[in-house]
Structure 1
Amino acid sequence: MYKQLMTFQQVSRRMLSTTANKQVMNRVPQKQKMFQEDNGIPIHLKGGATDAILYRTTMALTIMGTAYVIYELVNAALPKKK
């Protein structure tokens, strides 16, 4: 039992003490410059095509969800006659 506990401690230390091998380039200044630029594009669309797709998907899901809720409310308010 003690040997298993010591092995577990070594493995957990090794996992927590590892460092990243790659250096990641800091892109924050570039993103700040892009988002602070005054070019007439709304802030939620300045990220490019990905932002536009995410925005349209979110709006479509919101509209479909709202329509479904209204449909279910109407069904609950006006039950079918037997």
Structure 2
Amino acid sequence: MGVQPVTALPHSHFQPLVAEATGMFQEAGEAARVVARQVAANARVAAAIGERLRASPPRAVVTCARGSSDHAATFAKY
């Protein structure tokens, strides 16, 4: 027995996808403002952490991530 083809619904059952109407599009558009706000809000804490790490560098750093977070973790190692 062979594989049976899947019967698709007629195109009239689908609404066209408009990128600007998606949550992902909205979030992507907000990313730069959110990151700028986070950097400003956490500047003192980040500076203190940087000072502490420079004063006593860790012997190793481990990241654990999946999906898009894995890309961020890979970028962090450089």
Q: Do the structures match in fold with TM over 0.5? A: no
Q: Which has the larger radius of gyration?
A: 1
Q: TM-score, normalised by structure 1?
A: 0.28
Q: TM-score, normalised by structure 2?
A: 0.29
1 or 2 for the larger relative contact order (CA 8 Å, sep ≥6)?
Answer: 1
Higher relative helix content: 1
